[in-house]
């Protein structure tokens, strides 16, 4: 998802915007002129048509009482009943709350941390140190959530986990991190930070590399310290990248990470742990309520779209270039 956006921006910067096709007759000329580019575009279009747009046909089961044996077309229409059931369900406010809280926590904590980490890495002058640290912080990204969850269980297990014992010995507190609902969200955010912060710095580091070095020299001559330089040169220079990444992050925000949350859930923290993704799995796949869970998933997508358009609108209001 990220790659094409960056490409567009690069294209705009380089001033290579192709002339827009005007009317029917001109289009064939235009098309003939750019045929190789369109050919390049084709695989992407086919991919989206087959794997992204095609399956949307299945979304219709959100408005049906879908029974696999009867098929998508054979199942009876029920209108908005699945949605009504969901909104009337006592689980609904809890799910919405949990999803939004986790999403904003991840966005509010993990997203700025990524930028801070990129800035810190950017300030490291010793090349070998910078490269080593960069590689080391990328590694957790390649571990699956199952491994991350197992590590957490080992570290935080009641009575036997090293971190549990350490806290117990030094502070005399015995917190059951794994089942105490109050610790669920901090654990999830911590895991998210540990796993993905390093990986997230890649794009920011690329943006940082394009910042004009002359400006720094000028600032140094003017007597600006490191923080001044970061504040007045670096951050404004990568502002548009930050905005684009923020909008993209918000688009992904509601995908709270099914595996991660599913693995960390137990009876004692389910109150705060249930999110749309785990709920859809639970009622859809394990209980076979396909229509209902499709309705839930569709609702989640709607919220996601509202969030993307909202942020884009806000970005434009504040005179930043939005995503579209």
Partner 1 sequence: MIRRKLSLAAALVTATALTLTACSGGDAPAADLTSVSIMAPFLEAQPPGADGAVQKKLEELTGKQVKINWAPNASYEDKTNITLAGSDLPQVMVIQSKSPGFVKNAQAGAFWDLTDKLDKYPNLKTTFPDIQKNASVNGKVYGVFRGRSPMRSAVMFRQDWLDKLGLQPPKTVEDLYKVAKAFTEQDPDGNGQNDTYGITIPKWGALGTNSPYDLIEEWYGAGNRWTERDGKLVPSFETDEFLEADRFIKKMVDEKLINPDFATFDSTKWNEPFFNGKGGIIVDVDSRVSVLVNLFKQADPNNFQNKVGFVGNLEGPDGKLHAHPTDGYSGFLAVPKASVRTEAELDKVLDFLNTMNSKDVAILLNNGIEGVNFKAEDGKAATIKPETPEGKAVTTDIKSYAQLGMNVAGNEFYPVKQPSDYEQQVFDKRTEVMAEDLKSAVYNPAAPFVSETYVAKGAQLDNIVADARIRYLAGQIDEQGLKDAIKLWDTSGGNKVKEEINKLWQDSK
Residues forming the site for partner 1 (CB under 8 A): 51, 54-59, 61, 66-73, 89-91, 153, 157-159, 176, 178-179, 181, 255, 258, 266-268, 270-271, 277, 280-290, 293-294, 297-298
* Unique residue bearing structure tokens 């009337």: 88
Least distance to partner 1 from the beta carbon of 7, Å?
A: 25
Q: Which residues contact 309 (CB under 8 A, 6 or more apart)?
A: none
Least distance to partner 1 from the beta carbon of 59, Å?
A: 6
Least distance to partner 1 from the beta carbon of 145, Å?
A: 13
Q: Of 29 and 59, which has the nearer Cβ to partner 1?
A: 59
Least distance to partner 1 from the beta carbon of 20, Å?
A: 33
Q: Of 18 and 181, which has the nearer Cβ to partner 1?
A: 181
Q: Tell me the backbone φ, ψ of residue 64, rounded to 5 degrees.
A: -130, 170
Q: Hey, is 297 helix, strand or coil?
A: helix
Least distance to partner 1 from the beta carbon of 181, Å?
A: 7
Q: Of 234 and 256, which has the nearer Cβ to partner 1?
A: 256
Six-digit token string for 252: 């992904």
Q: How many residues would you count in the chain?
A: 324
Cβ pair 274, 265 in contact under 8 A: yes
Q: Of 73 and 173, which has the nearer Cβ to partner 1?
A: 73
Query: 79: closest CA among 291, 276, 288?
Result: 291
Q: Of 41 and 158, which has the nearer Cβ to partner 1?
A: 158
Q: Of 19 and 90, which has the nearer Cβ to partner 1?
A: 90
Q: Of 62 and 118, which has the nearer Cβ to partner 1?
A: 62
Least distance to partner 1 from the beta carbon of 266, Å?
A: 5
DSSP 8-state assignment for residue 80: T
Least distance to partner 1 from the beta carbon of 4, Å?
A: 20
Cβ pair 66, 290 in contact under 8 A: yes
Query: 283: closest CA among 268, 318, 275, 168?
Result: 275
What is each CA distance from 315 to 201, 218, 246, 320, 321, in whole angstroms?
Answer: 22, 30, 10, 5, 7
Q: Tell me the backbone φ, ψ of residue 122, rounded to 5 degrees.
A: -65, -30
Cβ pair 204, 249 in contact under 8 A: no
């Amino acid at each position: 998802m990220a790659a094409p956006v960056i490409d567009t921006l690069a294209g705009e910067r380089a001033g290579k915007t192709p002339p827009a096709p005007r009317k029917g007759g001109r289009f064939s000329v235009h098309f003939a002129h750019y045929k190789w580019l369109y050919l390049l575009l084709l695989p992407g279009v086919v991919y989206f048509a087959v794997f992204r747009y095609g399956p949307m046909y299945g979304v219709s089961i959100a408005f049906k009482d879908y029974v696999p044996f009867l098929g998508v077309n054979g199942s009876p229409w029920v209108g908005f009943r699945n949605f009504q059931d969901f909104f009337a369900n006592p689980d609904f406010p809890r799910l919405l709350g949990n999803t939004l809280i986790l999403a904003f926590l991840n966005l509010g904590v993990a997203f700025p941390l990524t930028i801070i980490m990129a800035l810190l890495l950017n300030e490291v002058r010793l090349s070998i140190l910078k490269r080593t640290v960069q590689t080391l912080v990328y590694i957790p990204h390649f571990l699956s959530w199952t491994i991350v969850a197992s590590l957490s269980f080992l570290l935080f297990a009641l009575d036997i986990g090293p971190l549990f014992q350490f806290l117990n010995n030094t502070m005399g507190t015995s917190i059951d991190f794994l089942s105490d609902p109050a610790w669920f969200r901090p654990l999830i955010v911590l895991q998210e930070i540990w796993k993905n912060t390093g990986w997230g710095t890649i794009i920011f580091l690329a943006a940082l590399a394009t910042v004009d070095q002359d400006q720094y020299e000028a600032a140094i001559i003017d007597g600006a310290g490191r923080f001044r330089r970061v504040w007045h040169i670096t951050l404004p220079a990568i502002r548009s990248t930050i905005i684009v990444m923020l909008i993209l992050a918000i688009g992904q925000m509601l995908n709270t990470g099914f595996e991660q949350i599913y693995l960390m859930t137990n009876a004692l923290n389910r109150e705060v742990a249930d999110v749309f993704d785990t709920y859809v799995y639970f009622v859809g796949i394990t209980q076979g309520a396909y229509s209902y869970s499709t309705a839930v998933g569709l609702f989640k997508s709607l919220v996601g779209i509202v969030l993307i358009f909202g942020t884009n609108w806000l970005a434009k209001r504040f005179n930043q270039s939005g995503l579209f």
